């Protein structure tokens, strides 16, 4: 079920999750550290303070749903789910290895506690809309949360889904944009700017909340505001730092998809101690 922790406890969990991400990716020698680290506080706040879920009953019909649309950042999701008790912590360092349940993109065939397989960018919000609409049709109180990447938000399917969600007034749906400003090939503003991002979501009929995505108390308030919104889905634009918590990764496009070396791992873990 939903658990509650104060801000300091949640911050401590987030720091540990970042350490586990670094260790996983170093062992795998490949993967996506930057966007995993930028999303840590968001996922920890959701799983440990906001969502109703039960690791002992992962398919509980009234659970809240979470979809990691930017599925390449699954290391942070795996770390959080393992911490909750959905999957084994002692296998996290098998990430990206042949036969591991921890695939390089979130894959429900290997890890059934996931809500969906993701990583084909642009599709997660459509999946979330289906779940939110299904819950409404079934009369269930379930809420659906979808974490989007900012580079991913250049995909046309995101905006088709946004139009559908707004038109159908899916107030049990929350999209969170991990707005860390960096995508695979560089800075979002140089590749295809999303601005004015908040106005775009509003124009599609969404309630928009802007927040600093590493301020856990602000995230708690934002999710609370989203839960009270009636007649509109909510988009939380979370301004984050790519590689948050590791000085040489922060704001560095290199670490979108490059794993740390053993030496970099040691430095990162010292900074996250």
Task: Convert the pLDDT of each residue in 49-72 to its tens digit.
Answer: 999 999 999 999 999 999 999 999
pLDDT digits (tens, 9 = 90+) for 180-193: 999 999 999 999 99
Can you tell me the distance from the alpha carbon of 4 to that of 6, in angstroms, rounded to the nearest whole number?
7
What is the structure's pLDDT at 1? 46
Count structural domains, the chain.
Answer: 1
The CATH number linked to 117 is 3.40.50.970
pLDDT digits (tens, 9 = 90+) for 68-116: 999 999 999 999 999 999 999 999 999 999 999 999 999 999 999 999 9
Can you tell me the distance from the alpha carbon of 215 to that of 3, in angstroms, rounded to the nearest whole number?
19
Let me know if residue 258 belongs to a domain.
yes
pLDDT digits (tens, 9 = 90+) for 142-181: 999 999 999 999 999 999 999 999 999 999 999 999 999 9
Let me know if residue 21 belongs to a domain.
yes
Let me know if residue 152 belongs to a domain.
yes
Let me know if residue 2 belongs to a domain.
no
In the predicted structure, residue 241 carries a pLDDT above the cut 90? yes
What is the structure's pLDDT at 38? 98
Reference 85, options 62, 116, 53; nearest CA is 53
Q: How far is CA 234 from the centre of its chain?
A: 15
In the predicted structure, residue 10 carries a pLDDT above the cut 60? yes
Reference 241, options 178, 183, 147; nearest CA is 178
Reference 205, options 173, 252, 249; nearest CA is 173
Let me know if residue 1 belongs to a domain.
no
Instruction: Report residue 3's pLDDT band, with 50, 70 and 90 as the boundaries.
Output: low
In the predicted structure, residue 4 carries a pLDDT above the cut 80? no
Q: Got the DSSP string for 190-226?
A: HHH---SHHHHHHHTT-EEEEEETT-HHHHHHHHHHH
Q: What is the residue range of 136's domain?
A: 7-271
């Amino acid at each position: 079920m939903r658990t509650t922790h104060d801000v300091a406890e949640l911050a401590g969990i987030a720091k540990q999750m970042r350490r586990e991400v670094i260790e996983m990716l170093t062992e795998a020698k490949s993967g996506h550290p930057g966007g995993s680290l930028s999303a840590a506080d968001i996922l920890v706040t959701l799983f440990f303070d906001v969502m109703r879920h039960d690791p002992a009953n992962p398919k509980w019909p009234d659970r809240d749903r979470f979809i990691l649309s930017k599925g390449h950042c699954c290391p942070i999701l795996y770390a959080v789910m393992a911490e909750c008790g959905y999957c084994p912590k002692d296998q996290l360092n098998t990430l990206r290895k042949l036969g591991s349940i921890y695939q390089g993109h979130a894959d429900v065939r290997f890890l059934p506690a996931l809500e969906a397989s993701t990583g084909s960018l642009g599709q997660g919000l459509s999946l979330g809309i289906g779940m939110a609409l299904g819950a409404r049709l079934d009369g269930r109180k379930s809420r659906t949360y979808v974490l989007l990447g900012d580079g991913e938000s250049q995909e046309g399917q995101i905006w088709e889904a946004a139009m559908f969600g707004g038109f159908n007034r899916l107030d049990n749906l929350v999209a969170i944009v991990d707005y860390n400003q960096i995508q695979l090939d560089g800075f979002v503003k140089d590749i295809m700017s999303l601005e004015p991002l908040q106005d775009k979501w509003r124009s599609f009929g969404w309630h928009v909340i802007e927040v600093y995505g590493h301020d856990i108390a602000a995230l708690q308030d934002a999710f609370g505001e989203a839960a009270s919104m009636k007649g509109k889905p909510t988009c939380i634009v979370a301004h984050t730092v790519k590689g948050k918590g590791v000085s040489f990764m922060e704001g560095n496009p290199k670490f979108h998809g490059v794993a740390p070396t053993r030496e970099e791992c040691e430095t990162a873990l010292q900074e996250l101690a």
